[in-house]
Amino acid sequence: MARYTLIISLAVLVFNFQVFGATWYIENFDKFKNGDIVGQDDWEIVMNQKTSQIQSKVKHGDVGKSVLVSEKTMVLRKFKGSNASTQYVSLFARKDDGPGPLMIYIGGDAVKWGAAAKIDIKAGGIITANKGNAAFPEVLKGKLGQWHHFRLVFDFKKKSYDFYVDGKKVVNGFGFRGEGGKGGVNPALGWIFFGWDHPEVLTAYIDDIEMGDGEGENAGLPKAVDHSDKLVSYWASIKAWE
């Protein structure tokens, strides 16, 4: 009886970790239909541009799908999110070709150019990040045709963010863009949009987006064992001891 109770308790702990953990949004696009992302799972067009595309030729990992981002496209996803003072965004980004930059805007409240953070991958793979309104300095020389893991940690009390690329911290405490001015405010994570709103050619990809409370230290890391697999294992043990 004691063993039976222990196994039940472990299964409940794993289930609770999965359901009530810090992550409140995760998307790998694998269940999306190929074609327009707009109209699927509340993705929409923003800034009067066109829709990005779901495709399976290029993806992060061996199987699945990702978002193809090209010139004159810009798509948005809004969230209810939470009111936690520290929140994170994790995603994989890749720029393959073209002079146009892949632009990623992350913020809250009204959807606006004045995001909390704006990250670009520019020509040659150069990665930039906004330092308040003052500048968009280069933070790392990335590689074209290679997936890079981005993790941004937002401090909504200090109105600043840290930025990690492939596990390396490249930004420490950069201020939000446009905070308190004409750019509006960003009180919490509420949306992400990405694309390139000009005609210069761009071929880029976004995949495996994750958002949640806290710093998300393990976001984007390979999962050794899926939580559902653990539950199956526990259930098998329970059945064996009946």
Cβ atoms of 106 and 153 within 8 Å: the answer is no
Q: Name the β-bridge partners of 155.
A: 86, 160
Average pLDDT, the chain: 88
Among 169, 11, 164, residue whose Cα is nearest residue 88: 164
At 223, the pLDDT band (50, 70, 90 cuts) reads low
Q: Please tell me the predicted confidence (pLDDT) of residue 54.
A: 99
pLDDT(224) > 80: no
Q: How confident is the model over 61-73, as pLDDT tens digits?
A: 999 999 999 999 9
In the chain, what are the domain boundaries?
Answer: 23-215
Percent of the chain with pLDDT over 90: 78
Q: How confident is the model over 181-202, as pLDDT tens digits?
A: 777 899 999 999 999 999 999 9
SS3 1: coil
Between residues 241 and 160, which one has the greater pLDDT? 160
- CATH 2.60.120.200 describes domain 23-215: yes
At 134, the pLDDT band (50, 70, 90 cuts) reads confident
Q: How confident is the model over 18-56, as pLDDT tens digits?
A: 434 499 999 999 999 999 999 999 999 999 999 999 999
Q: Which residue has the tokens 């500048």?
A: 135
Q: What is the pTM of this model?
A: 0.85
